[in-house]
Amino acid sequence: MKGGVLVTRPEPGAAETAARLTVLGFTPILAPALLLTPRPLAPPARAQALLLTSRAGARALTPWAIPVLAVGTATADAARASGFSDVRAAGGDAAALAELCAETLRPADGPLLLAVGESYSLDLTALLRARGFRVIRRVVYAAREATALPEAAREAIAAGRVSHAMFFSPRSAACSVALLSGAGLAPALKGIEALAISPRVAAALERVSWRALRVAAWPDQDHLLELLP
């Protein structure tokens, strides 16, 4: 096996990433920074389309007949797996999703239902309203920050068995940095290469020193995995 890779994304995505890493010959070490809890949603009948900004949002919903616009291909795939049939994918960030809405939808045809995690996607809401859309924002899952690193992850980092760490969102990256620093592991991070899914995630990792900090060429898991040796 190759080196250990710290996986900081929440479940159920952490298990999916771990499986990919195992196939590639790495040892996954799970340390989810956020704990997700789905919240029930009563769909408003008047919405012309459902907007999804994360796989967690897609997985939290029971499907119904409505066009879905997803922030990227991974979220679109998760929406289809959940049972939605009419799904289109944008280019991977809030600006791209707002652009797809402007290209394919009309404000006069009704509001957009934005299904998000608690405190997420406020920037997308502003972008859509600036284009004349009415946005109905509904929280479909809550994300609670972890209060400590799993002991197995702490031991692996302290022993130098972690060569890389993967980070998937600004909030989980910031939480991970706080947990690692609080556990006294900041010096050990100088031997670990941090892999960020986007520049915003990378910015949240700059509070500590890494062996290297690299950013995926495209904000999805496939491109993040391509950063591994």
Fold of 4-33+149-225: Rossmann fold (3.40.50)
The dihedral built from the CA positions of residue 16, 21, 25 and 27, taken in this order, carries a sign that is negative
Q: Is 0.85 topped by the overall pTM?
A: no
Looking at domain 37-143, its CATH class is alpha beta
Closest CA to 91 of 219, 213, 221: 219
List the chain pLDDT tens, one digit each, 229 residues. 689 999 999 988 899 999 999 999 999 999 999 998 888 888 877 899 999 998 889 999 999 999 999 999 989 999 999 999 999 999 988 899 999 999 999 999 999 999 998 766 568 999 999 999 999 999 999 889 999 999 999 999 999 999 999 999 899 999 999 999 999 999 999 999 999 999 999 999 999 999 999 999 988 899 999 999 9
Task: Delimit the CATH 3.40.50.10090 region(s) of the chain.
Answer: 4-33+149-225, 37-143
Widest CA span in the chain = 59
